[in-house]
Amino acid sequence: MLNEPMSSLSQNCSDCPIRHRAVCARCDGDELSQLEEMKYYRTFEPGRTIVWSGDRMDFVASVVSGIATLSQTMEDGRTQMVGLMLPSDFIGRPGRTTSAYNVVATTDVVMCCFRKKPFEAMIERTPHIAHRLLEMTLDELDAAREWMLVLGRKTAREKIASLLSIIARRDASLQLRGTQGPLVFDLPLTREAMADYLGLTLETVSRQMSALKRDGVIELQGKRHVTVPDFNRLMEEAGDDADGGLLV
Amino acid sequence: MLNEPMSSLSQNCSDCPIRHRAVCARCDGDELSQLEEMKYYRTFEPGRTIVWSGDRMDFVASVVSGIATLSQTMEDGRTQMVGLMLPSDFIGRPGRTTSAYNVVATTDVVMCCFRKKPFEAMIERTPHIAHRLLEMTLDELDAAREWMLVLGRKTAREKIASLLSIIARRDASLQLRGTQGPLVFDLPLTREAMADYLGLTLETVSRQMSALKRDGVIELQGKRHVTVPDFNRLMEEAGDDADGGLLV
DNA sequence: CGGGCCTTTGAGATACGTCAAATTGGGTGG
DNA sequence: CCACCCAATTTGACGTATCTCAAAGGCCCG
């Protein structure tokens, strides 16, 4: 079960797939070569834990490819996913030595890691990085707050529709497709992972997926392959304004 | 119904009550005087809306005193509070022209506002501000994620206990008391506001408050004045590790 | 072809929401 | 100073969305 061989990973920042979106997006050539000195790649298989909550973390990292989740767990095992980390997202917190969350790979994941100390020092002297990191953190804060509305006030059906529309939207924007015409994508999450993200049980997730399928909001080929014939319909089911642009 | 008269507001940053915690915390004298040129104070009465979601915002601001809430509302009126803004917290987002949330004063509120354009320009050239803002944003992101666990996975009783322990903890740290001995504080929120924060109805909030009182976890003097005889007991009811330090 | 997940579906239990009415208590005006 | 008023809160009865427990498929991979 090999994922992309290391040889295909750009050792060279200039042709990195997340070059223009990651924390290094605004760096110039000189700054990039400083980063190249402190960076190294790591890969993880699906299901593998990248960091445990409470563990010492002496690196920060960008997701280069694949999907990872951030989650919190209570003593009795209840767990809540608090973040979905996609390519270009940043993992780890400058100025903190331990992880506050479990970080788990849900697909094959490639990460571009930076040793923490040198990276922190570089933040101090490199406004390009500090500003990009601030911007990314503000975006994540907005996303977390949007998710609070989903968790606190939406019904199970709306929660499922919300999750599907987020994944569909992201997929469409990666593939540069418009919102017209059917959207097709693969669910990167198991029913249980969806439940942990939505604050539901996996049975409720399954039932609501079946209901959305029965009502023609989505079509399923197998368990993971999803077709959305009408994106606006999905948005309505999510309880969102249908005019919320696709290109966010 | 006058709140603190303007005359009592420090026009002078150097004796501002939030000087050491706000976005300006790390500024030196020169930077402070630049800020003083673009700042002005505004006050709001309880219940007054400071900004509406979607409104143009041409300032950013620090809460100097009082409490404000951030909330999102769905078309049918369901609302979810996504942030509790306390003294020193920062409102507004550099690089965005409209507010994503409703901002409402729940008590008398004094805000130190900065005109947006000059402030954004200053961030660009002042690492002290950019770094402090990054740090504060990361803290807010952690708080939002902790709240996602509360919203997604906790029972009504645990939710109430979680909210009370957060307020009690903050109050204790302001008054520099330890966690030993009874904690006493005033609830700055109505039952409805608590419900909007917790993703519950106000009736459920009221019932669970009564239950916690009946079980001796809290005592109530009037509707808003709360005594917590044993903080660890409250933490247990919240479903948190009781060893979570008070001094976070 | 068989074993082990992941998923679906069912039946019954329950926590929380909804609707409605009673009670409290803090502020106000007489 | 007291009675009154009104918003906030409490309490009750009932409905229901979601959870829990249980069993029966599918599907991938060896």
Instruction: For residues B58 and B36, state if they share a domain.
Output: yes
B149: confidence class by pLDDT, cuts 50, 70, 90: very high
What does the alpha-carbon distance between residue B161 and residue B233 come to, in Å, rounded to a whole number? 10
> B196 CA to D10 C1', in Å?
18
Distances (CA, A) of B26 to B32, B89, B101, B115, B133: 9, 15, 28, 20, 10
What Å value separates CA A203 and C1' D24? Answer: 14
Segment of A91-100, A163-172, A216-225 carrying the highest mean pLDDT: A91-100
- The string of pLDDT tens digits covering residues B68-79 is 999 999 999 999
Q: What's the CATH number where A209 sits? A: 1.10.10.10
Picking from A70, A141, A152, the nearest residue to B199 by CB comes out as A152
Query: What is the tens place of the pLDDT at every residue in B172-210?
Result: 776 666 666 788 998 989 999 999 999 999 999 999 999
Strand order in the sheet with A39-44: A39-44, A109-115, A59-65, A90-91
- What pLDDT shows up at residue B173? 74
Residue B171 burial (10 A CB sphere; 0-12, 13-18, 19+) = middle
Return phi, psi of residue B91, to 5°. -115, 135
Residue A124 shares a structural domain with residue A206: no
Same domain? B62 vs B141: yes
Claim to verify: residue A29 and residue A113 sit in the same structural domain: yes
Going edge to edge, which strands form the sheet with B68-73? B49-51, B102-105, B68-73, B79-85
Q: Which of B153, B157, B204 to mutate to test the interface with A (most CBs of A within 10 A)?
A: B153
pLDDT at A5: 45
User: What percentage of chain A carries pLDDT values higher than 70?
Assistant: 90
State the pLDDT at residue B247: 43
Do residues A209 and A160 lie in contact, with contact meaning Cβ atoms separated by under 8 Å?
A: yes
> Is the pLDDT score of B5 beyond 60?
no
pLDDT number for residue B172: 79
Burial class from Cβ neighbours inside 10 Å (0-12, 13-18, 19+) for residue A102 reads buried
Q: Which of A133, A149, A165 marks a domain boundary?
A: A149
Per-residue pLDDT tens over the stretch B54-94: 999 999 999 999 999 999 999 999 999 999 999 999 999 99
The crossing angle, in degrees rounded to 10, of helices A156-174 and A202-214 is 70
Domain identity same for A123 and A158 = no
Residues B170 and B189 in one domain: yes
Q: What is the identity of the amino acid at B243? A: D
Rounded CA-CA distance B54/B102 in Å is 8
Does A27 map to a domain?
A: yes
Q: Does residue B163 share a domain with residue B145? A: no
Residue at A1 is within a domain: no
Assess whether pLDDT exceeds 90 at residue B9: no
Q: Do the domain assignments include residue B219?
A: yes
Residue B177 has a pLDDT of 65
If you average pLDDT over every residue of chain B, what do you get?
90
Confidence label for B223 from pLDDT (cuts 50, 70 and 90) = confident
Rounded to a whole number, what is the distance in Å from the CA of A218 to chain B's nearest CA?
23
Compute how many other C-beta atoms are within 10 angstroms of the C-beta atom of residue A94: 19
Same domain, B177 and B95: no
Check whether residue B32 and residue B121 sit in a common domain.
Answer: yes
Q: Is the residue at A118 inside a domain?
A: yes
Q: A102, A126, A149 — which closes off a domain? A: A149
Which residues is B41 bridged to in the sheet? B112
Task: Provide the H-helix boundaries in B3-126.
Answer: 29-38, 116-125
8 Å CB contact of A82 and B149: yes
Q: How far is the CA of A203 from the C1' of D25 (A)?
A: 15
Asked if residue A125 belongs to a domain, the reply is: yes
Q: Which nucleotide is nearest to A204 (CA to C1')?
A: D18
> Nearest-5° angle of CA B96, CA A27, CA A88?
70
**Same domain membership, residue B123 and residue B201:** no
Residue A242 located in a structural domain? no
* Residue predicted with more confidence, B9 or B190: B190
Identify the contact set of chain A against chain B, taking CB-CB distances under 8 A: 70, 72, 74-76, 78-80, 82-83, 93-95, 100-101, 123-124, 127, 130-131, 133-135, 137-138, 140-142, 144-149, 151-153, 198-199, 239, 241
> Which bases of strand C sit closer than 7 A to a protein CB?
6-11, 15-20, 25-26, 28
| Number of structural domains in chain A | 2
| CA neighbor of A41 nearest in space, from A96, A115, A100 | A115
- What CATH number has the domain bearing residue A120? 2.60.120.10
State how far the Cα of B55 lies from the Cα of A23, in Å rounded to an integer.
30
**Measured between CB atoms, which of A70, A141, A199 is closest to B152?**
A199
Reported confidence tier of residue A177, pLDDT bands at 50, 70, 90: low
Integer Cα distance of A41 and A59 in angstroms: 11
Chain A CB contacts of B76 below 8 Å: 239
pLDDT in tens, B111-135: 999 999 999 999 999 999 999 999 9
- Residue B148 confidence (pLDDT): 98
Indicate whether B20 belongs to any domain: yes
Question: What is the residue range of A40's domain?
Answer: 6-149
Q: Phi and psi (nearest 5°) for B212?
A: -65, -35
Same-domain pairing of B175 and B128: no
The dihedral region occupied by A77, where left means phi > 0, alpha psi between -120 and 50, and beta the remainder, is left
- On whether residue A106 sits in a domain, the answer given is yes
Of A69, A119, A50, A144, the residue nearest B138 (C-alpha): A144
Angle, CA A109 vertex, CA A108 and CA A110 arms, to 5°: 130
Q: How confident is the model at residue B25 (pLDDT cuts 50, 70, 90)?
A: very high
Residue B97, exposed/middle/buried by CB under 10 A (0-12, 13-18, 19+)? exposed
Name the band, by pLDDT with cuts 50, 70 and 90, for residue A223: confident
What are the CA-CA distances from residue B56 to residues A13, A153, B38, B47, B60 (Å)? 38, 26, 19, 20, 11
Give CA–CA dist B173/A200, Å, rounded. Answer: 35
The residue out of A114, A149, A184 marking a domain boundary is: A149
Tell me the C-alpha distance between A107 and A111, whole Å. Answer: 12
Mean pLDDT of chain A: 90
Which of B95, B124, B134 comes nearest A133 by C-beta? B134
Among residues B172, B188, B189, which one has the least CA distance to residue B180? Answer: B172
**B134 and B161 inside one domain:** no
